Structures are given as C-alpha cells and as structure tokens.
Structure 1
C-alpha cells in the first residue's frame, strides 16, 4: 500500500463518517456551508476509525513522526522554491504532498488516544521506548541548523545540500519506522510505518541518483566542476 492509497482510504472513511454523523442529527446547524463546521463531527466520528490498541512505542512513534514530517516539509518547501534543478523542485513538492496528509492522520490518532502532541511533551524527557532519537537530526545537524545551512547556499550548491540533508533525514525516519514495526502494536501505526519506510527507501535511492547527476561544487572557488 503506497502513501496515496493510504491517504485515500483514510480520507474517504472520514468523509463517510462525517456524513453519517451529520445525518444522525444532534446539531441544529444547517448542513449547507460545510467547511466551517466540518471539524466538529470529525472528532466524534473518528473513534470508529482509529484502533485503540496501542503501546508506548506507538504513541511516541506518532508524536515524533509528526515532528519529523514537519521538519521535512519545511525543507521540501524551500527546495520547491529555491532549487535550480527541476527534478529537485519536483521532489520537494512530492515530499510535501505525501507527508502533509500523514501529519493530519497521525494528529487525529493522538487526539483520539487522548495523548499529547510532541509540542506538548518534553522531548528531552522521552526515551522513545528504545526508538533512536538520532532520527530527529541529520547527521548530527539539528533542524534549525539544517535550515540555516540551506539558506546560506543557492544554485547547484543548494540542490546538493538539500539532497544530502534530506537523505540523512529520511534515514532517521527509517530508524523510527523500524522501531515501530519491531515493537509497536497499533495496526494503523504499523501500517503507516511500513508505508513511510517503503516510500522513503525509494526516495533515498532517487536522491542518491540525483546527486550523481549534479556537478561537484568546489567550496573554495564556488565553481562547478564535472
């Protein structure tokens, strides 16, 4: 199952549940005008869609993968604006498009489980149930450092640095999904972990290949050489 299929299944189920909830009544508001009231029934409908089976690894995987995805999207959005290569721009757009609905899905799980988001949790105090916190950085570089690094370069140098950092970022995600698949119990979290693992393994190969096509930048002269 790929990311688009998972998003389609989850999204379709939510739409159906919201529609059934609306038909069942309980609200005096008219159905027309939908957008402003769509979030209210979603919470009440979600319990039927979210498996309550979970352990600490499932919760911490979900909390931290939300943060991890949000970091990837920040970098990907920068690439879609600043990359000099059309292929790197397209990759940035694809990463954002894939990970944004996954964030929505994972946040909905946390709400239904009655768990805090990662923003509400002291990250330093989390042991991740054995999950490698190295997944939250890029080869020792924090998210803030990575963003600053990307802002300091442009052209081909930007493209290369983005690919290098995103490869490290994806490898961190693979470490996180491996822990979830090994020790998590929630079937939906495990299924998403597998989707993320499969997709990001393919993207790492793609980024490695893109790196091979880009000129090497001599940092001393800032000139591209074959």
Structure 2
C-alpha cells in the first residue's frame, strides 16, 4: 500500500470515529477542545517539552521545534504521550490475545488473536526503544491509563478470563473491537499534533491494520 493511500485511509478512519486529539492533548498540555476535530494533516504549534539532563544536570524546558532526537527527528509532547500510553494500551491487547489461545472456541478467532499479538508485540519493542533513545521515561505518573480510549476495565478483563468457548468469543470480539477503536483514535491524535515523522508513519500503519482487524472480527459472524 502506498504511503499516500495509507494517509488517506487513516484520515478517513479518524473522521468516522470523531477523533479530535483529546486523548493525548489532555496529557500533553494541549487545551484544544475535542469538539473541534483536527484534520490528520493539520500542523500543531510548538509544545513545551521537558528534556531530561545528564546525571547531575537540571532538566531543560524547550519548544518542540528545538527538540531533536539523536537521529535528527523532531518530536514533541504529543508524540511522547502517545508512545508512553500506547505501550500500555498495546499491553492490554496482547494480554487479551494471549487469553484466546486457551479459551476461544472458534479457531478463526484464535488465529486472529495470534495475529494481533504478533503485530503488537514488536510495536511495543519499537516504542520502548523510541523513549530510550530520547532518554525519556517509560511512563508518566500523570497518565491515568484507565481513561485511555478503548481501555477495558479490570472487571471486564477478569470477566473475560473466566469465560471459554462461544461466550469467550463474543466477549472478546466486543472488547477487542472497542480497544482497537480507541487505538485508532489515539493514532489520529498523534497524526494531528505530533511532529515525529516516523512515529506518524507507525500510527498510520497501526490504525489501518487495527481497522482491518475490526472488520475481520465483524465478518466472523459468530454463532
């Protein structure tokens, strides 16, 4: 798939879901309202970013147009919030996918869950490396991960763990579809306000793939 077509697909997906940047903006100091959706190609004004200093040196606060990674890419606080949150978000999807191996009744669902796990685990590795290369913390205590779009509650996860067969399959499809829609919304946030080009490309690919997986789950037509 060409990069232009990918951008077109994700832009359409974000519009359909009404993603306006609220999920990451609220965690990165952006006060723009979710009631005014950003287009996926809009540019963001400079964000204030805290750069950790070397041992013994104070942190430095600077603008996004001055923040560069060792590889020369520019990034901002929306990028950072997306990466920190998506690591946790993916972690829950992987947890659900691993449950399917011993609990799902439909072999097609087991295969799809394996695909989800196989796709998202390497992305988590990449996201962790992104933070490490920029000497950024793996998480932000200010993030309440329970409020991320699509995150399932502890009670829902416990209920899913207790199910098997057809009951598991139906609950899994409901929960994973909602989880994927949340990830697509978060991808739209970073597309609208982030500045790291490679991260934007990953968000594009992630959203297109998860949109495809939602459609596959719908097409299973479980009994």
- TM-score, structure 2 length as denominator? 0.65
Unaligned 5+ runs, structure 2: 3-68
Q: Report the Cα offset of residue 196 of structure 1.
A: 0.5
Q: Deviations over 1:22-80 (max 9, x none)?
A: xxxxxxxxxxxxxxxxxxxxxxxxx76x4541000000000101100010000000012
Aligned: 1:193 with 2:203: yes
Q: Deviations over 1:146-177 (max 9, x none)?
A: 22011222110100100110000001001100
- For CA contacts below 8 A with separation 6 or more, give which structure has more relative contact order: 2
Say whether the 8 Å CA contact 1:61–1:180 is kept in structure 2: yes
Distance in 1 (alpha carbons) for counterparts of 2:214 and 2:204: 15
Distance in 1 (alpha carbons) for counterparts of 2:129 and 2:148: 25
Say whether the 8 Å CA contact 1:51–1:188 is kept in structure 2: no
What is the RMSD computed on CA atoms of the aligned residues? 2.1
Compare CA radii of gyration and give the structure with the larger one: 1
Structure 1 match to 2:222:
214
Q: Deviations over 1:1-34 (max 9, x none)?
A: 69xxxxxxxxxxxxxxxxxxxxxxxxxxxxxxxx
Structure 2 match to 1:174:
184
Unaligned 5+ runs, structure 1: 3-46, 127-132, 216-226
Structure 2 match to 1:135:
149
Say how many residue pairs are matched: 157
Q: 2:105 is paired with a residue of what secondary structure? A: coil
Show structure 1 runs of 4+ deviating over 2 A. Answer: none
Task: Choose between structure 1 and 2: higher helix proportion.
Answer: 1
Distance in 2 (alpha carbons) for counterparts of 1:84 and 1:110: 38
Structure 2 match to 1:69:
90
